Amino acid sequence: MDYQELPDRFLVAIGGNATHPAGSKDTAEGQIAIANATGRALLPLMELDNKLVITHGNGPVVGKILMRQIIAQGRVKPSKLDICVAHSQGEIAYLLMQALENTLREAGNPRHVVCLLTQVEVDPDDLAFKNPMKPIGNFYTEEEAQELKKQFGWIMQEDANRGWRHVVPSPEPRHIVDISLIRAVTERGAICIAGGGGGIPVVRNTKGARKGIEAVIDKDLTSALMANVLGIEHMMILTSVPRVAIHFGTQKERGLDNISLSELQSYHAEGHFSPGSMGPKVEAAIRFLKRGGKSVIIAALEEALPALRGEAGTRITKN
């Protein structure tokens, strides 16, 4: 897929660690600076005459929302995890929406950016509720993790040799509520931010009534499902690392540039991709391609344009 021949429908999934990288300042000014940098990175794509959907992760932010609640619980009753997801979805999307539009205006482009609060239905009997594996929040030392486990009852796991993190249930996305509205927004020419944090997890009863359930859905799996349902054939996953790698974190580490679906499936089966970091991105790419997608690019946020040109990142195709 050449940069000059980009399709008229495209989905970009921005990782939570890309919008809130390790070491970033936990201030409004710091978050605004990151959102502005995201706008600059995505400007070439936003200026194309395309139907563009943007999703984003929330792992670091929703974890910090939980931590704030724990600290303040003596004065304010904590919210359920699904409400925290909604909180993070609105917070991140607001900053992205403003930054993307400001970037477009500076370039003289009148295109609008719209954010849709997105619910995603899951199965209440999903096995993920018995086996929490989704890492959220900060990285901690093992000693800090054990203290948090003792103090708050959190389940803590090591995350890809980078430290310890709080893990929560991450059920499979089954249905994106009101996806027709996402289609309608993009058909009118606006950029649509949707499915933030994988969507607000909800379950539906036999009468069709929905209620929230405590979990954090993987945003890459939701993004792949959303793209497939919308008939989008090309997807980009932007994260905090330059490309997919095998033997990650070892002396044998090797980055992957262009790779076929079958090759990626083989590496995935061999266990090269951590379930807490690159694993869900690889799984999402596999599902997307097997359900009708044509290509997936996985790259660093700041290298979005070079990745589109085939000069950076990992490009995965069916053949």
Largest CA distance in the chain: 57
Q: Which of 219, 276, 293, 313 is catalytic?
A: 219
Active site residue 17: yes
Active site residue 51: no
Q: Is 95 left (phi over 0), alpha (psi -120 to 50) or beta?
A: alpha
Active site residue 318: no
* 167: helix, strand or coil: strand
Instruction: Specify whether the CB–CB gap between 286 and 261 falls below 8 A.
Output: yes
Structural domain contains residue 188: yes
pTM of the model: 0.91
**Are 191 and 300 in a shared domain?**
no
Q: Find where tokens 């959907």 sit.
A: 53
Q: Which of 58, 63, 134, 137 is catalytic?
A: 134
**Are 180 and 275 in a shared domain?**
no
**Are 83 and 193 in a shared domain?**
yes
- Tell me how far apart the alpha carbons of residues 277 and 259 are, in angstroms, rounded to a whole number: 19
pLDDT, residue 146, reads 93
pLDDT, residue 180, reads 96
Active site residue 58: no
Residue 211 CB neighbours (<10 A): 10
What average pLDDT values come out for the chain (319 residues) when binned by 10 residues? 66 79 70 91 90 92 89 89 95 95 97 97 97 88 92 86 89 96 96 96 95 96 97 94 90 94 95 85 97 95 88 92
CA-nearest of 95, 93, 109, 98 to 44 is 109
How many angstroms from the chain centroid is the CA of residue 187? 23
Angle between helices 28-46 and 81-106 (to 10 degrees): 60
Q: Which of 16, 196, 198, 279 is catalytic?
A: 16
Active site residue 16: yes
**Are 94 and 41 in a shared domain?**
yes
Q: Which of 39, 51, 63, 281 is catalytic?
A: 281
**Are 266 and 179 in a shared domain?**
no
Q: How far is CA 318 from CA 242, 246, 272, 309, in A?
A: 21, 19, 20, 19
Number of domains the chain is built from: 2
Q: Which of 17, 51, 198, 199 is catalytic?
A: 17
Q: Read off the tokens for 204.
A: 């539906």
Range of the domain at 103: 7-12+26-118+173-201+215-228
Q: Read off the tokens for 65.
A: 């929302």
- Tell me how far apart the alpha carbons of residues 67 and 61 are, in angstroms, rounded to a whole number: 10
**Are 31 and 104 in a shared domain?**
yes
CA-nearest of 108, 1, 96, 9 to 49 is 9
Structural domain contains residue 298: yes
